[in-house]
Structure 1
């Protein structure tokens, strides 16, 4: 038995891992990855066909890695003409089957988080002598735009050359595709000849069909076949400042990413943990990232630096303009930051709020960025009290972004504190590129374009989130919902921002060119995916009945659309002796090494 726990951009990674002693006895004779992206919504199907070449039965293993932001929506095994489908059930019900299987002495395992962006799905099945098995896994994800592009990452590591190996990607975008690039290890050397890119007005196709020889002779290949990644990045045309609206079968999605507005000067305060636990590489990388970030500030920006342990230290008591002199002085200060002491998060963040509040500037956007690697251990240490203090002090005036360094940080606390104050939390992984992770996050919020955005849809209902504190260059606001009258001929969208500038657009709802027939249900699934994501995210902010009501709604949608989410599990009954597997979604922040499980 197996428990499996399940970002624009789409990260797609797969791996078929076979035990070394099986390599000569198992033939992966076909492996297909088919990814269809329609209006940013990606549906990926991985199909592996494997033969047992022994004259006796043996276990055959299937392992794939999928993006953390994806929901598995289908898994099936076909053996000797019979298909075994996974069924998504409420987590508690699936857990009962898990416990029963364990009590019968059946094997149990865990599907685990893998690194920053991936989760590992693994299963095995006993296959009779000279028989075959087909594994098929489907998952879905709404691609998120970051720094002006979407990404599709495909990592191929099948552990043996495959005679029939194909990757097919079809991207369809209504406004047209502005650029598309293919990079990565699998696009170098002789493998370049295995890649074909075809472009049309609104479509792009990328195929990767390497021969057996190519699978063993590329730069990162060997006797075990392919081992590397293919990275597809793209963006869409943005000629309409009102955004892009797609309508299908009574559902709509509105993508809003205006390019006709000027940047807003920003006020940014960096609140840096210098407690003893930041010793060594963490503090070194933090200093390096801050030096780069300071170099990227524009002259009409204002900034502040706060460091803290059990005490709070302000570089300057007020925000300073990002002049060349001020930036050089700030860099000298950053170079001298040293780790010491405990962690007073409450006092540090309140100091940051006070610094911005005391120096309001008309026509600017203010941002607080907290970087910490631990729990509050000094001053006010009650997490609920800290969150109440900070929420009262900020009062919806500007967002707080929390960067959690490493696995020991209380990421749930940072997530809730960020969401309560209009921001997001991001984990910074303790790797050699942690400084680049820090800078990468800053780059995403470096250029605010709009503030206090409200989106209205007079003919819409069951809407996803419609209020946003800031819109940053290179990102995208996405709203989906149902249309109240599916027979209407037009649908109106309205975007209002704080400077009283309004974007208004009316589109025809009966445009048959919007969606090809084979993708007619994608809009409804996109709406369900985004709704479930946001309902689950809001759980940390709600209390009592409201929390329970939204949890029930998220569960209902997860079951209806067969999504494996934190509220559901996929149950697979295997042919041998009715053995049961249960696939769950792991909690963010769990270290990969903690989920090694067995089959």
Structure 2
């Protein structure tokens, strides 16, 4: 048969009415399948075309499919915090109650201060206390799993992030109540005469950008570990009784009388004791765990020390904690250089609600403080990004008006993809005779923190990165570490009413660093291991805080640097340092953090793991590679009785629009499980096939 005849035959078949009907049937079937797919997936995910309310939270049915939904476990927390000078010691007791008729394993995700050294865990069963043991993480998992299988009560405490932890507690019998006590140490923050302590109570859901194929499994496992059911009014499910109610007591020993004691986040009662001691409790007795508790205090001006030194001796080693304020005359220089500043503002779904209002108010305030000689640009981002000008422009009246209008129109939606805007800002050229600065306003609700730290480390150059944490529960670890890698500073704004004042203070500090090139060494030149290993530039009112280890010696410290373009040095005496327990734990925590930072420098994971294990196991602290595990000796769960595993619910963060947050998390972050994708795909194909067969049969007739 000739080629021409073949072509004519093909055309005849393709143009036949029967084939046209078959193709039409297939197209119709597939279209119907897609429509059914969309409707079914909306129902499966808890949404409908006419109702955007979703029910989040963890529940199970006691009996039968028609039984009412009841909480699997209830949890409450009691936190006691003792603050002496700048050292904070805390204890959190988490109580789990099983009101169901099942044997239950509970999983609870919770936050602690981002610099906390977690150094103890106790399982409490009635009057009995079972102390947890520190073990290598995988070994602790095996110890816990064996206890669970044997029907023994057990608890496991692990670190997800330096500020996010997971408690697992197994074999809680029907009607039983079991507690886990967690102990930690931290430092308070000082800015000028103001001290502050931030105690987080809720974990803001994190957004994970889509990884490449090589890292897919790791990222999915990490994301799953950070997931938790969310409930509360902001999710469309209202319950008058808060989830995970928290009671709190703070015992503050400032060492002197205070001129200010306040909280921008909560109402509290304060009992003034002798000697500059205060006892702070929540006004309502307990609070819903839906936002950070922030406490601030100021010393009277006449008694404010410029140097605080604490020490602890362990064997032949001495651990020293030092806080030094910059020289009192370190005021803003009137001859400061012009600035080239890029503002980055997060407009993703996690910022919806109070956070985006804080961000816009803060950014408007920052823009209003630009001088005519300054240059600026604005980058807004969610899962895409937009640059206002595309490059730095002079801060003239017309550009400022354009910027204010741009800020007014910003809305929060979609995912949190931080890498492109950070890379864009860091890629700008360093201007001559100008301070290159980046001001980043965000809640830090991302899961790829390490990737972002590496980006800043490799591309910072002579620029400085300043972070502003916004909202009821920002990711303090990310904000602090990003600023540390960026050699800038971190500012927290939890209350919209404070945005103007705190941005004023930040912009004033950013005008000119009071000290640069800061280093510390022993006066006798003997070695000391101090952290952070590189002290950042100091800005007005911000202290140097470092923790050191050395052999026991009478030698003092030398702190030196550059102040107003001239050399500056101060001698710090350790002989009369205030004795304090726990400094060794804080040093170990800072060393672990410094070792983990080496990931951004390209050091191998295995080398870091071995070094961290050496420090964490010898000092008995929690780390990415160690966990605490406690096991009761006696099996209690009857043989062959099922154990239900349940993740406990968390409150939605106060002021957060959870509908936009859920849409963000369901975005391009591989948020739909692979199994669900397969089911949906087969359902669509099956519908298309059935429709095709029906229409095909009619055509054949």
CA displacement 1:209-266 (0-9 Å, x = unmatched)? 99xxx85xx9x79xxxx99997531245787896433334322222133243123556
More strand by share: 1
Q: Is the 8 A contact 1:115 1:592 kept in 2?
A: no
**TM-score, normalised on structure 1?**
0.62
Q: Is the 8 A contact 2:345 2:359 kept in 1?
A: no
Could you tell me how far 1:573 is from its partner in structure 2? 0.8
Where does residue 7 of structure 1 map in the other structure? none
CA displacement 1:354-374 (0-9 Å, x = unmatched)? 75523423xxx4212467999
**Hey, what's the Cα distance between the residues in 2 that align with 1:371 and 1:53?**
43
**1:257 matches 2:325:** yes
**Hey, what's the Cα distance between the residues in 2 that align with 1:404 and 1:392?**
23
Could you tell me how far 1:293 is from its partner in structure 2? 2.3
CA displacement 1:533-562 (0-9 Å, x = unmatched)? 232233332323xx6444433222222222
Could you tell me how far 1:160 is from its partner in structure 2? 11
What SS does structure 1 have at the residue aligned with 2:612? helix
Could you tell me how far 1:105 is from its partner in structure 2? 8.7
CA displacement 1:353-410 (0-9 Å, x = unmatched)? 575523423xxx4212467999xxxxxxxx999978x87765x31224578999xxxx
**1:563 matches 2:632:** no
Q: Of residues 267, 275, 282 in structure 1, which corresponds to 2:339?
A: 267
Further displaced range: 475-484 or 270-279 = 270-279
Could you tell me how far 1:141 is from its partner in structure 2? 1.8
Which protein shows a greater Rg?
2
What SS does structure 2 have at the residue aligned with 1:262? coil
**Hey, what's the Cα distance between the residues in 2 that align with 1:372 and 1:346?**
13
Could you tell me how far 1:568 is from its partner in structure 2? 1.0
**1:330 matches 2:388:** no
CA displacement 1:466-486 (0-9 Å, x = unmatched)? 4344323454331111244x2
> Structure 1's 61 and 279: CA in aligned 2 closer, same or farther, altered over 3 A?
closer
Q: How does 1:15-94 map to 2 (within 5 A)?
A: 33-46=79-92, 65-69=110-114, 70-79=116-125, 82-94=128-140
> Structure 1's 469 and 508: CA in aligned 2 closer, same or farther, altered over 3 A?
closer
**Hey, what's the Cα distance between the residues in 2 that align with 1:499 and 1:427?**
28
Where does residue 136 of structure 1 map in the other structure? 181
Where does residue 360 of structure 1 map in the other structure? 433
> Structure 1's 268 and 198: CA in aligned 2 closer, same or farther, altered over 3 A?
farther
Further displaced range: 131-140 or 79-88 = 131-140
Could you tell me how far 1:300 is from its partner in structure 2? 6.7
Q: Is the 8 A contact 1:275 1:310 kept in 2?
A: no
Further displaced range: 135-144 or 329-338 = 329-338
Q: CA RMSD in A?
A: 6.3
**Hey, what's the Cα distance between the residues in 1 that align with 2:489 and 2:265?**
29
What SS does structure 2 have at the residue aligned with 1:457? strand
More helix by share: 2
Q: Is the 8 A contact 1:494 1:502 kept in 2?
A: no
Where does residue 170 of structure 1 map in the other structure? 252
**TM-score, normalised on structure 2?**
0.55
What SS does structure 2 have at the residue aligned with 1:467? coil
What SS does structure 1 have at the residue aligned with 2:620? coil
Please, which runs of 5 or more residues in structure 1 have no aligned partner? 1-16, 375-382, 583-588, 595-599
What SS does structure 1 have at the residue aligned with 2:404? helix
Q: How many residues align?
A: 514
**Hey, what's the Cα distance between the residues in 1 that align with 2:153 and 2:179?**
22
Please, which runs of 5 or more residues in structure 2 have no aligned partner? 1-57, 63-69, 203-240, 445-449, 638-642, 646-660, 672-701
Could you tell me how far 1:63 is from its partner in structure 2? 7.3
**Hey, what's the Cα distance between the residues in 1 that align with 2:351 and 2:83?**
44
**1:96 matches 2:161:** no
What SS does structure 1 have at the residue aligned with 2:184? strand
Q: Is the 8 A contact 1:445 1:472 kept in 2?
A: no
